Amino acid sequence: MLTEINFDGIVGPSHNYAGLSLGNLASTRNFGKVSAPRAAALQGLAKMRANLDRGLVQGFFLPQRRPDTDWLGQLGMTVENADPRLRANAMSASSMWAANAATVSPAPDTADGRCHLTVANLVTMPHRSHEWREALAQLRIAFADPEHFVVHAPVPPPFGDEGAANHMRLCASHDAPGIEVFVYGEAGGPYPARQHREASAAVARLHGLDPERTILAQQSEEAIAAGAFHNDVVAVANERILFTHEHAYTRRDWLYAELREKLPEIEIVEIPASEVSLFDAIQSYLFNAQLVTLPSGEAALILPTEAQESPTVWRWLEKLVSGNGPIRHLFIHDLRESMANGGGPACLRLRVVADPATVDPRFLATTDKLDRIEALVNRMWPDRIAVEDLSDPAIWKQCLAARSALCATLGLEELDRERF
């Protein structure tokens, strides 16, 4: 009964381009542009709907309460008198990138035979550092069945943990024991590493993983300096396939040898830098695709339109699927609003291998539920937000009202009442 469920973050009504994410080149490049929260949410919902149509199991997480007045209160401020930069941090919709919500180890990998989830602390970036409390609350509701799940509080600071964006699982099939790869970083040029080795090792211990089936690999400083602030910007894995850039890892040959020893059936699809540069890979978010297994058993990449618009990237992808390799299909989605803030298809989702019957059904997508969410988004999400609008009380009220209505629509009023 175990299957992979993709839980996408619903894009929140405060989605904006305040340029808060150092090292995320798209975020800094688009600072000050006018965002389109309604279009952003609809683009994400369209991807979820398409995945349902493809026969995949789809879930979602709700946007968090914004502005986060509790966080500002801890800083001795109110939303009315906050410094504009701190107010922007309190208005960030970055929880939409659910890949950073937690790290997940499915039941076949853990010592107690339960699925373990550790919420990410996200301490490196101020605008994300206050997400973990509400993320933890949602995880504890969605995965409340103690027979099947264990939800852990975050690793304590100062050890930075940014969740599944720096974690890969390789296995013969989703319900078989896997090899879990934790990718950590050191500083890359002017940019900080967001995933610390100590945090990755702590999560592996908390989840009760077999050390012989666990790998800690260092992301290359070259990749971080080029703008790969997470591993999922330069690599993605699914079942027996690792799809990666040649310059993703510091000890690439060692990593490949370890994987081949521990999972002989692995298929490593590596793109040489001579064919696709790190710059082109990061600009197009080629590796931030979702790599999924279709009901037919074939592997597919769910890609942003930017990958199709890059001549070198698209030429390589067409060659990939025309050959005899393990990846057989390419699906393109318009996620421009998320992409402009530095998050592609893989950023928007957290993968959980579980029996869907053990998950709180309020977090599982159906066509009818997506219809209702879409109607609400069209009715209540702001059409446009400029950075200067973040100081407008009318925007604060609209964002809070829209989220409250979503909680009510999905029967998750407890998330609206609870303070984090």
- Known catalytic residues are 162, 230, 347
Residue 162 tokens read as: 């940014």
- The answer to whether 143 touches 115, Cβ cutoff 8 Å, is yes
Residue 240 tokens read as: 């027996």
- The answer to whether 270 touches 240, Cβ cutoff 8 Å, is no
Angle subtended at Cα 74 by Cα 69 and Cα 78, rounded to the nearest 5 degrees: 40
d(CA 399, CA 405): 10
- The answer to whether 167 touches 201, Cβ cutoff 8 Å, is no
**Sign of the CA dihedral running 201, 207, 96, 334:** positive
- The answer to whether 59 touches 51, Cβ cutoff 8 Å, is no
DSSP secondary structure of 270-336: EE-TTTS-HHHHHHHTGGGSEEEE-TTS-EEEEEEHHHHH-HHHHHHHHHHHHTTSSEEEEEEE--H
- The answer to whether 166 touches 195, Cβ cutoff 8 Å, is yes
- The answer to whether 304 touches 333, Cβ cutoff 8 Å, is yes
Q: Give the 3-state secondary structure of residue 181.
A: strand
d(CA 28, CA 282): 14
Residues 6 or more apart in contact with residue 76 via CB below 8 angstroms: none
DSSP H helices, 92-216, are: 126-129, 132-142, 197-206
Residue 360 tokens read as: 């709180």
Cβ atoms < 10 Å from Cβ of 32: 11
The tokens 């979820």 sit on which residue? Answer: 48
Chain center to CA of 298 = 23
Q: What is the dihedral of CA 399, 400, 401, 406, to 10 degrees?
A: 90
